């Protein structure tokens, strides 16, 4: 669970115009930039733009390294704030350096873009979003009897789910949340590693096979699990009892 996907995607054919200058731009993104699907979104934007580099969470920011033609990198950075996921609240982008590099050859290690493992040795000044209400796509899955997450109360994705209340420390990685106890099943792992899936790098990913389960307890012990727990709680509320809900 703690090893991150290091998937490489080949970039489209590059403009190798000898007059073009290739650069490496290193920048830090500040604000509410973790737990909002920012890295997967930037991954898609960068690969679509045919640039290379990597992105990673640090304790305090998200660091983005881009390589490509100077004008392409500049255009990308200018457009980036307008193309972020809805819950990202960017407070600023600090460009740390722009250095010339030799033109990367296609199919070398330089081609492609990666989401790297988080770095934890920087000061912790991160803004973590509050828990996000279930999105319409997850809600549709939970209500679809043919979906593998049918009636799964812990369906989440990069656009929804718990954030602040499950995080024990930064950066926002599954290993730093209460989800760390739940080993992903192969299907969830596939979704987590698939750039075209909306659960690509969704740190709270889970399903009925591998995620948390509902439990209903009275004082004294567990009395029901799964959907039965939900029905038991509903029955208690219907007869006037008070039910407390505890998260994970």
Instruction: List residues near Zn ion by CB under 5 A.
Output: 135, 138, 157, 159-160, 185, 188, 207, 209-210
CB of 40 to Zn ion, least distance (A): 13
How many angstroms separate the CA atoms of 81 and 158, rounded? Answer: 18
Which residue matches tokens 């304790």? 59
CB of 90 to Zn ion, least distance (A): 21
Identify the burial level of 203 via C-beta atoms within 10 angstroms of its C-beta, where 0-12 means exposed, 13-18 middle and 19 or more buried: buried
Which residue matches tokens 């704030």? 81
Q: 69: part of which helix (H) or strand (E)?
A: strand 62-69
CB of 98 to Zn ion, least distance (A): 36
Residue number with CB closer to Zn ion (24 or 201):
201
- Best CA proximity match to 27, nearest among 73, 85, 87, 88: 73
CB of 104 to Zn ion, least distance (A): 36
Tokens of 68: 């490509």
CB of 147 to Zn ion, least distance (A): 13
Residue number with CB closer to Zn ion (25 or 157):
157
- Torsions phi, psi for 232 (to 5 deg): -65, -45
Residue number with CB closer to Zn ion (29 or 188):
188
CA separation (Å) from 77 to 49, 73, 237?
A: 11, 6, 52
Residue number with CB closer to Zn ion (64 or 202):
202
Residue number with CB closer to Zn ion (25 or 84):
84
CB of 2 to Zn ion, least distance (A): 17
Residue number with CB closer to Zn ion (74 or 134):
134
- For residues 133-160, one letter each, b for 16 or more C-beta atoms within 10 angstroms of the residue's C-beta and e for the rest, the string is ebbeebeebeeeeeeebebbbbbbbbbb
What phi-psi label fits residue 112: left (phi over 0), alpha (psi between -120 and 50 degrees) or beta? left
């Amino acid at each position: 669970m703690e090893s991150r996907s290091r998937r490489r995607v080949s970039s489209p054919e590059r403009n190798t115009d000898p007059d073009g200058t290739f650069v490496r731009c290193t920048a830090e993104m500040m604000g509410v930039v973790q737990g909002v699907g920012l890295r997967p979104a930037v991954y898609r934007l960068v690969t679509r733009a045919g640039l290379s580099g990597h992105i990673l969470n640090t304790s305090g920011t998200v660091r983005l390294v881009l390589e490509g033609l100077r004008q392409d990198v500049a255009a990308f950075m200018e457009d980036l704030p307008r193309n972020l996921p809805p819950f990202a609240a960017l407070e600023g982008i600090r460009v740390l350096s722009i250095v010339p590099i030799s033109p990367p050859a296609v199919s070398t290690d330089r081609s492609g873009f990666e989401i790297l493992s988080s770095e934890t040795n920087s000061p912790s000044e991160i803004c973590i979003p509050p828990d996000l209400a279930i999105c319409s796509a997850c809600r549709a899955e939970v209500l679809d009897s043919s979906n593998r997450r049918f009636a799964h109360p812990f369906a989440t994705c990069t656009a929804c789910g718990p954030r602040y209340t499950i995080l024990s420390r930064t950066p926002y990685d599954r290993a730093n949340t209460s989800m760390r106890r739940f080993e992903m099943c192969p299907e969830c792992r596939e979704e987590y590693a698939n750039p075209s899936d909306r659960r690509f790098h969704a740190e709270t990913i889970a399903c009925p096979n591998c995620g948390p389960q509902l439990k209903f307890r009275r004082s004294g012990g567990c009395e029901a699990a799964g959907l039965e727990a939900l029905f038991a709680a509903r029955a208690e509320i219907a007869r006037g009892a008070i039910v407390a809900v505890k998260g994970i």
